[in-house]
Structure 1
Amino acid sequence: MTVSNAEIAAVLEEIADILELEAANPFRIRAYRNAARTLQAFAPDIASLLASGKALPKLPGIGEDLAGKIGEIASTGSCALLQRLRGEVPTGLRELLKVSGLGPRRVGRLWHELGIQTPAELHRAARSGQIRQLHGFGEGSEEKLLQSVELLLHTPQRWLLARVAPIAERLLTDLREVPGVIEVATAGSLRRCRDTVGDLDILVSARRGSPVIQRLTGDAQVASVLAAGTTRASVRLHSGLQVDLRLLSPQSWGAGLLYLTGSKAHNIALRRMAQERGLKISEYGLYRGKQRIAGDSEASIYQALGLPWIAPELREARGEIEAAQAGSLPHLVELGDLRGDLHAHTRASDGRNSLEEMALAAQAAGLEYLAITDHSRHLAITHGLDADGLARQIDEIDALNERLSGITLLKGIEVDILEDGSLDLPDSILARLDLVVGAVHSAFTLTKEQQTRRLLRALEHPHFSILAHPSGRLLGERPPINCDFSALIAAARERGCALELNAQPERLDLDDLHCREARDQGVPIAISSDAHSTLEFAGLRFGIGQARRGWLEARDVLNTRPLGAVRRLLKP
């Protein structure tokens, strides 16, 4: 089995983390992080390309040295540099990096100055008041770290959806090639497109004697075999992800897929419906007494219960069964419904490609229009645009649009919403744009009243179009801001603004519940890639998964509309 791009990227990220722990050259650290991000977004399977004798394609920011390490990782799952670096730092430091609010630099300081090497040691130090003694931490930081490390110590590890998806796709591709295999599929929270995944569930239907269990347990990426029998196996990969495989008979395929996809609450509701009809449902089928009456497909079970098939993303016991009974299930949005992308960056701020390169990549992804929304200057780390720089970019986009065919660039900006709710650029330049995407990038800890007032004022701005990543969350790293989102959604409806569903894997923001609330209030959602390179438009699929969990149809999504309609809606 080959090493997936996501697994290669994870190795590069770990190298960058350890280098930062050791206070290595920041340019070297950045090179590994950029390479990891590039590989996450790169669609072709690198290991397969290299195994077939082809050279690694030219990728931005990846020179000869990095290309060599990528080749080493692709063939072995690791590299000599990582093994050496792991030996230079305590193992527990990698666990400390999972604590929200701690990056490699701060973990390095805790290690060097207080000797803290594990989450448990951090917990003891925070409770005893040692953390606040360090310069740059303080009592408030200590309290937040105490809360974060307690959460980590008592919460099972979860993985970003986009991290697990390519691993699952690679495993499914390989398992399909095993002799005797009839069908393979993922189940669990991955199939329901939850933003994070606890472990990876794989189901296989195969003929008797198929060596599918042996194929999984013998995979080079398996660090340990937790269990292995005739119909199931559990393994832990070197990345730490647990993979559980179930072998099902063809006649039980649908029942097993339904049962193991979940959610638990959805399954309980179906079980109750079955009992009311004198039936019994299990992972093996739907039975009347000892007679199996359905189970070879999911649809057969739903039909026997008087329901249409329900999409996995909806199976959370949030009214989907009632909607199915009433014939009012939503016709969920699909990736092919998107006609444009309303949030992307170029090298004018923190992106890695030119205007034209981003335009052509968006066109290759099947899009008809792309909004260029580089950062404004307030966010210093992005080297954003001031009014003069934005004016020059406006002229560049106009000139480029005259040459482009089949794709149109929209003139935009991702402007910072300042703490008082004002925007980081003057009205005179914002008025020249097709859209203004506003975002919070600072002051995340304001009170609920302050944060709500801040965002409501921003939405009142006459040129405001879309609120980007509205909650500001970073999954596993930063919680959502404290805000009255119902008031925010109501204000967006009143003003005619849209809310963004940011498809970046660590964001997936809005969450599914707020997506549904916005839909119910008639507020359009923009599903945007927030692409920082030509490779990241592929991430739109994760935004679609989140949108489907939020019951969104194509009509609820702003950028499923043709360009003319979008232009009109973007100017509230």
Structure 2
Amino acid sequence: MENKYIIRLIKDTAKFMELYGENDFKLRSYNSAVFNLEKLDVNLAELSIEELERIDGVGKSIAKIINEINETQNLAYYQELLANTPKGVQEMMKLSGFGPKKIKLIWEELKIETLEDIILACDSNKIAALKGFGDKTQEKLKMAALFKINSRHFLHFREAEKLGNMLVEDLKSLVGVENVSLTAELRRKMEVIKPIEILVATNDASQLRDYLRNSEMLDFYEKMSGPRNLRASHLTTMGEISIHICKPEQFFNELFRTTASPQHLAHPLDGAGNLMQLLKQQNFDSEEAIYEAVKLPFIAPELREGLWEFEWAKEGKMPDLIETGQLKGILHNHSTYSDGIHTLEAMAKYCKELGYEYLGISDHSKTAAYANGLQEFRVKEQQIEIDKLNAELGEFKVFKGIESDILGDGSLDYSEDVLASFDFIVASIHSQLNMDEKTATNRLIKAISNPFTTILGHPTGRLLLQRQAYPVNHEAIIDACAEFGVVIEINAHPYRLDLDWRYVHYAIEKGVKISINPDAHEKAGYHDMYYGVCVGRKAGLTAKDTFNALGKAELEKYFEKRKQVALSKA
């Protein structure tokens, strides 16, 4: 039982309590507990109820709740609240930017219980008439409802891959199954997935049907299934699942066909025809053999989008895609100095333990008060600790960084003398997200033009399946980074994956370096680097294009040179 699950359950319970008008004192006790638990560096599942009671901000009542979650993997009170709440209202509670009080008002005053009804009410101006809403809030609500409707049944890549791999292992164990693989968008490592697609080679599909019928975690859609395709959904995540069935001798043809996008399969080949037509002519014993048959080099699954891969292949310029093992260090990370869970020392030592050469610590800057952002005196305190750690950690190095807020006018969140005390600056937008394209683009370009900016962090602010990106002119932003020598981040957090891989490709073409950063707020967050690598690979990213594929000594020289240039311009 992970702390994240426990805390999320308590947080969600508090939201539904607020929906039902629970008293403020009880709500404060839940929210206070969440605040303190999010800072805790111990495994809650391993604590006794007496130990839980001694945690600041927890007390006896919350300790009992945590203990119940540990013992049952659930919370009866939360389930009771859910049982009393229509499914549509539960979905309304997930709308970005709208808390329980506003949802309660919509539900009780207008008797609205679905996202579709919210849109109808917006179109007839019923929402704007509610107390505390108005025209602008009504339009924002409509956009949020449309976004949520369009996101139904999609899963983040991380969640889909985890579930898909579990299903693959289960299916491999069935009698008569000769081969199994993830396929389609999941194999191409798209950022969000619907449905999870799996290819199974067997001469007897009855075992597959029995598995789906008897599974306690799946809902088998028997009436929607056919002889070559079985459909189901995952009961916990509501993720959709599609299982393709083929004969064993057809496996590689079908794996190729179901993996590639329609554009990849339909791309015209020299001498007429396309890959789809080739697959109909004979069965191949590997995907490599399919490309060999048309005199093309192997194209990695994640590149098979029908975009730029054939141009590379025909010109002999197929990139040697970045691998996780080629990354030498991890930049953009947080510690307990701001809103991280683990101390700076713990973050540094675990990074070293993972085999990296360096860590870039970049806690939040002072404007981010909600994240315990660092005032100037705390910047000095952290930098003193970094010097001590660097004296203790041998060849491993902690670089002094900050995630400086890009303020509303595009300026960075410290004076030049404070900015000059850092080795590097990650510049990011965290507030005033409701911008038009011109405002957002100009704000970012001003920050990019600041000589102290090293890396542009999560450039579009998106949260996949939760919050839309603010609109920007991607090409203008990337062109500015090329002009001012600013690195662009692929934020590897599975909910961000920002910059989008489609624009990472443009950045590479413009010669902009890419830094794969986990935005880790705890030690486990380092492992999200894998998802950033997936994004980079889809764009054709290589080690030579990757900023943090530089070794420690090279990075030291880069930071020092860039700082001297910045000081000369200050």
> If the length of structure 2 is used for normalisation, what is the TM-score?
0.86
CA contact (8 A) 1:524 1:556 kept: yes
What's the % identity of the aligned pairs?
31
Match of 1:107 in 2: 103
Match of 2:30 in 1: 28
**Rounded Cα–Cα distance in structure 2 between residues aligned with 1:487 and 1:324:** 29
Within-5 A mapping of 1:151-550: 151-153=147-149, 157-206=153-202, 208=204, 211-226=207-222, 227=224, 231-238=228-235, 239-269=237-267, 272-273=268-269, 276=272, 281=276, 286-288=279-281, 292=282, 294-405=283-394, 407-550=396-539
**Rounded Cα–Cα distance in structure 2 between residues aligned with 1:250 and 1:362:** 44
Structure 2 unaligned runs (5+)? 47-55, 563-570
Report the Cα offset of residue 240 of structure 1.
1.2
Match of 1:55 in 2: none
Report the Cα offset of residue 445 of structure 1.
2.6
Deviations 1:325-346 (A, max 9, x none): 2221111111111111111111
Report the Cα offset of residue 531 of structure 1.
0.5
Indicate the SS of the match to 1:398.
Answer: helix
Match of 1:53 in 2: none
Indicate the SS of the match to 1:436.
Answer: strand
Report the Cα offset of residue 248 of structure 1.
2.6
Judging changes above 3 Å, is the alpha-carbon distance between structure 1 residues 527 and 143 closer, same or farther for their aligned structure 2 residues? same
Letter in 1 for 2:365: S
Indicate the SS of the match to 1:133.
Answer: coil
Indicate the SS of the match to 2:409.
Answer: coil
Count of aligned pairs: 541
Report the Cα offset of residue 186 of structure 1.
0.8
Report the Cα offset of residue 81 of structure 1.
4.3
**Rounded Cα–Cα distance in structure 2 between residues aligned with 1:351 and 1:172:** 35
Indicate the SS of the match to 2:128.
Answer: helix
Judging changes above 3 Å, is the alpha-carbon distance between structure 1 residues 424 and 511 closer, same or farther for their aligned structure 2 residues? same
Deviations 1:188-213 (A, max 9, x none): 21111111111100112346478244
Report the Cα offset of residue 37 of structure 1.
12
Report the Cα offset of residue 564 of structure 1.
1.6
**Rounded Cα–Cα distance in structure 2 between residues aligned with 1:263 and 1:67:** 48
Letter in 1 for 2:111: G
**Rounded Cα–Cα distance in structure 2 between residues aligned with 1:439 and 1:264:** 36
Match of 2:86 in 1: 90
Judging changes above 3 Å, is the alpha-carbon distance between structure 1 residues 535 and 460 closer, same or farther for their aligned structure 2 residues? same
**Rounded Cα–Cα distance in structure 1 between residues aligned with 2:390 and 2:291:** 50
Letter in 1 for 2:30: R
Judging changes above 3 Å, is the alpha-carbon distance between structure 1 residues 192 and 16 closer, same or farther for their aligned structure 2 residues? farther
Judging changes above 3 Å, is the alpha-carbon distance between structure 1 residues 489 and 229 closer, same or farther for their aligned structure 2 residues? closer
**Rounded Cα–Cα distance in structure 2 between residues aligned with 1:478 and 1:356:** 33
Letter in 1 for 2:296: L
Letter in 2 for 1:570: F
Report the Cα offset of residue 36 of structure 1.
10
**Rounded Cα–Cα distance in structure 2 between residues aligned with 1:8 and 1:264:** 42
The alignment status of 1:66 with 2:66, answered yes or no, reads yes
**Rounded Cα–Cα distance in structure 2 between residues aligned with 1:215 and 1:36:** 39
Structure 1 unaligned runs (5+)? 50-59
Report the Cα offset of residue 360 of structure 1.
2.2
CA contact (8 A) 1:349 1:384 kept: yes
Q: How big is the alpha-carbon RMSD for the aligned residues of Structure 1 and Structure 2?
A: 3.4
**Rounded Cα–Cα distance in structure 2 between residues aligned with 1:410 and 1:27:** 38
Match of 1:54 in 2: none
